[in-house]
Amino acid sequence: DQQVKQNSPSLSVQEGRISILNCDYTNSMFDYFLWYKKYPAEGPTFLISISSIKDKNEDGRFTVFLNKSAKHLSLHIVPSQPGDSAVYFCAASTTFSSGSARQLTFGSGTQLTVLP
Amino acid sequence: GAVVSQHPSWVICKSGTSVKIECRSLDFQATTMFWYRQFPKQSLMLMATSNEGSKATYEQGVEKDKFLINHASLTLSTLTVTSAHPEDSSFYICSASRPLEQPQHFGDGTRLSIL
């Protein structure tokens, strides 16, 4: 059973427009959510995160929105740039029992292509 | 700069060989590191949690005797794929986070190809 779902395997947008990537989760115990960007043959790179006590977090061109009642989060990239083309993974976590580290559960990823 | 270093980045070897992959935290001590596996065009699947000074915690379905994890120091965890077979070919990635901080930082991964 997938606890974190990214239902769109791919998304294409025009340069300068907004990219919206979506993610749904089922485990109500998740209290921290992250977005990672990944290029082929590389490890994921952290982009932005949000705690469950917030509903929005913004960092430059990237904004993450969290709707706890709907168990849904989204990543907005505006304006989109060709360099943003990559696979974007949504991840969720709960507090590890020791409080020192958190296991991440990943979605299946969305390939974003920004067209020049 | 890089926070987590993983080595080697690519391994090609014969079936039956054992392969060791290293994961290092570069400027912090990591009591916990995580090992993931990714198949082509699929998500990252957590294999195990590596705990410094104690046994690793494996996820359901991951063979402990096949994937040996050693976390002997606060900056180094190793994953050894024992007696590797072609079905073990995959992309293996480790991660670590600074103590009491988020987020997890990932190594660049190891592409393992078993012939």
SS3 label, residue B77: strand
B57 touches chain A (CB under 8 A): no
Residues 1-60 of A with CB under 8 A from B: 32, 34, 36, 41-46, 49
Range A92-99 average pLDDT = 67
Coil, helix or strand at residue A2: coil
Which chain A positions have a beta carbon within 8 Å of B108's beta carbon?
41-43
Mind telling me how many Å the CA of B35 is from chain A's nearest CA? 10
pLDDT band at B14 (very low <50, low <70, confident <90, very high): very high
Percent of chain A topping pLDDT 70: 93
Residue B111 has pLDDT above 80, yes or no: yes
Range from A59-68, B23-32, B77-86 carrying the lowest mean pLDDT: B23-32
Question: Could you report the per-residue pLDDT of A10-59, keeping only the tens digit for each?
Answer: 999 999 999 999 999 999 999 999 999 999 888 899 999 999 999 999 99
Residue among B30, B97, B111 whose CB faces A41 most closely: B111
pLDDT at A103: 82
Q: Which tokens hold the place of B51?
A: 């705990």
Position A102: which residue type?
R
Contact by Cβ (8 Å): A31, A51:
yes
Q: How far apart are CA A102 and CA A65, in angstroms?
A: 21
Q: What percent of chain B has pLDDT over 90?
A: 70
Q: Is B41's pLDDT higher than 90? A: no
